Structure 1
């Protein structure tokens, strides 16, 4: 501070305001229909195992049986989101991008980043993709979503 100006980044500000508050690790799973309940259980177990293997202490498990496009019936997602927006969450661990949202994943990634929350996508850990691959996957996901409507 020799020039009289303080230089802080987002991480520094969070540390000041959240001093003494343990930030949490949450896992979130979602399936579209009740018929997929077993898949949801497997998804949650996979996420728990991933967290254990990576030394993450799990503070909350959230899951919904609801559409990946609409947020109308995603009560657990909104409970988790409230904590993210309150700055209480360090990371959210999901199995695949589309478990969080079939559309607009990048919007959530940006929003979570603003609250210093990392989204860990288990299927992509150690598997960096090219932009073209991500675009193709997004198109396939959208086509799948809209084909399910008919």
Structure 2
């Protein structure tokens, strides 16, 4: 291989997007040369050094309540195993809270990292682990800031009816908790009845 490669070859070599190469150039981490036709050419040794210093993968795991902490642990294990198998430099962010809560500490930190160009890729076990509604907005931010999104279990997506049942359950759970208090007997009754209805729909 030549010491100088094209943008597409450079991106493939170190496993990043061409958008990331442009970002690193803007940040002064890369200084490609230009051909007479204006095309960028990247030094291979410089690329490899940049990869070691700058590539960060974030795995994001979330569950809705303390009752689901075992599920959270399983998500973390899946994310850690997947990222480690790829040889990525990674960090796992965990959240405990509703998929309709946009103020979770982990989610806010994730958005800050993405919008400051610090995340090479975002890895999720399932799409709905990010947010119940609004995940596409986060994916749009990822696209704009050069962050690749990887969803491990795309092939196991639930059906439309299952998603709808979960969404309705989530909405009513949140509003009943606000109305009666999350630990009230009335709220617990409503949540239990909803869970039974949701199970019957499956």
TM-score range, shorter chain: 0.7 to 0.9
> Helix, strand or coil: the match of 1:120?
strand
The separation in 2 between residues aligned to 1:70 and 1:62, in whole angstroms, is 16
Aligned alpha-carbon RMSD (Å): 2.5
Note closer, same or farther for the CA distance 1:102–1:55 as it changes in structure 2 (3 Å cut).
same
More helix by share: 2
Note closer, same or farther for the CA distance 1:137–1:86 as it changes in structure 2 (3 Å cut).
farther
Unaligned runs of 5+ in 2: 1-17, 30-49, 175-189, 191-202
The separation in 2 between residues aligned to 1:138 and 1:118, in whole angstroms, is 25
After superposition, where does 1:56-135 map in structure 2 within 5 Å?
56-58=88-90, 60-72=91-103, 74-124=104-154, 127=155
Q: Deviations over 1:102-131 (max 9, x none)?
A: 00121111111100001211111xx498xx
Q: Which one scores higher on RCO, CA 8 angstroms, separation ≥ 6?
A: 1
How many equivalent pairs are there?
135
Normalising by structure 1, report the TM-score. Answer: 0.76
The separation in 2 between residues aligned to 1:105 and 1:55, in whole angstroms, is 27
In structure 1, what is the equivalent of residue 6 of structure 2?
none
Unaligned runs of 5+ in 1: 1-8
In structure 2, what is the equivalent of residue 146 of structure 1?
171
